[in-house]
Structure 1
Amino acid sequence: MKHDLIQLAKNVFELEAKAVSSLTKKLDDTFIEVLNMIFNSKGRLVICGMGKSGHIGKKIAATLASTGTPSFFMHPGEAYHGDLGMLTDYDIIMLISNSGETEEIIKLIPTLKYRKIPMISITSNPLSTLSKLSDFNLDIGMHDEACLLGLAPTTSTTSTLAMGDALAVCLMQMHDFKPENFAMFHPGGSLGRKLLTKVKDIMVDKNLPIVAPETGFADILHVITQCRLGICIVMEGEKLLGIITDGDLRRALLSSERSRFDFQAKEIMTTTPITIDADENASAIEAIMIKKKNK
């Protein structure tokens, strides 16, 4: 039984991989025209699909929106009962239907035609009603579903998702979409935090642990302990002379040829500390620390 299930899972992977791979042969001038129309649009790309196609449509819309192409999902049933009002005259609609005959989708076409909303369809049948009535049709090809009954959308939805990803990635290239742009749309993610957080956002700028060059061991230790940062800054007026870390103190205590407690800040400080501008990205600090650690 275990072997049979493993083989069944492998069959699913092979069927879906074959279907996605075959999409490379489907790319032609229509794909480029679709890209250009979306890229040059002054509106949004509205994606519409029923059932499993709808779930895939939501993911495609989310990917597009997060990578520089304004997009949102609209449920065809809700669209037929008022949500078509969400569309502006500048928008483009993408209708997803594997068969190209989904009733809830087909019912929207007369209104879309009347309003002259450009229509892109994704179907597996270029001869279907939806394909013929669309301005552009992206053909994902007809393949056996991975479902044992050949009924549940599996291969077809994977192919649709891949087509949507191809559109999103190509549009990213056309928009010259950079990591900084991605971070702007993902401020809560790790990349967003890295690229949007500035040094000044995380640095300590009050009650700094400052000592003078002549400060002795006891006072240095007191300042470092009080600030709980593991360092103190050696200043002469407004001039930075160096820093002293916990490690500097330990090394001084172990290596001093004089009395272990008989030294001043200027004798053990690091005189060439690495500094960074307050307006730099916080990620730059991480890069510097990793580089120095690996040396």
Structure 2
Amino acid sequence: MAKSNIEAEIGPMRFRTAKERWAYLNKYKALYFISIPGILYFLLFKYVPLFGSVMAFQDYNIFKGYLGSPWVGLEHFQKMFQYTDFLRILKNTLLLAFYSLAISFPVPIILALLLNEIRKVFFKRVLQTVFYMPHFLSWVVIGGIAIEILSPRSGIVNNIITSMGFEPIYFMGEESYIRTILVSSGVWKDAGWGTIIYLAALTSINPELYEASEIDGAGRWKQTLSITLPALMPTITILFLLQIGHFMDFGFERVSIFLNTLNSGKGEILDTYIYTVGLLDRQYSYTTAIGLFKSVVGLVLIMTGNTLSKKMTGEGLY
């Protein structure tokens, strides 16, 4: 066995002396220096803000700070679940997250499989660019395009509806359409970008497997079911678990551009509610409790999903 393989298996924790450990660290010092910006990012923007969660158990006052603000225990959590509007907003968040997961997650997989079947490289690259481009547009631009397309006066959708003899529909002014608009706009924006990882995973599949299946008489559909999808399953599992962890984070900027008083009944989510109550009404402790609740739900979901995934497929995040 090569020396590098031995070092990889033994690891620095099994070195017998400090001199050997420092020699190992010095050998790979470039890698450790490269990792410093990433470590600092997580420390400053992920771990340090966790201390702010103490606000959820206080009647926080910005002038008194953490040490001077009085403790109220679980009062904000009780208020959260007793408030009628919160339960409605929680329902909206869960439904939108479920619809997005059920519809948005399979689309990049299907799109990657279709792009992988294109044999003309130039045509394939053009399509990839077309599908990727919406990802680089801000939600303000995406929202403006969607609102213009759905406009009751000049929108192309209503032009088609009126040309068929029907009355124009004010899509942005009716609650029944807002969830469809939010989910479909997200699919259009991110579906192409999500195919990148799947296309990269497809390149790692051994071509000899397809050649052997052709000899056995398998067609493209049979090859997809028997070779391609099983090979993609580890990647699909990991990405699915990561998305489950953000189940409650539908996105403030994604919803706020479409939200108005006419459709907020089914369109308002926890992120927009936190913005309204926390920043505009300055109820910092209450909205911190809501954010902590979201984080706990995400943690429970990802741990449950990871456990089930390891039992069913043998793949997991940890």
> Structure 2-normalised TM-score?
0.20
Q: Which of structures 1 and 2 has the bigger CA Rg?
A: 1
Q: Which has the higher helix share?
A: 2
Q: Which has the higher strand share?
A: 1
Structure scoring higher RCO (CA < 8 A, sep ≥ 6) equals: 2
Scaled by the length of structure 1, what TM-score is found? 0.21
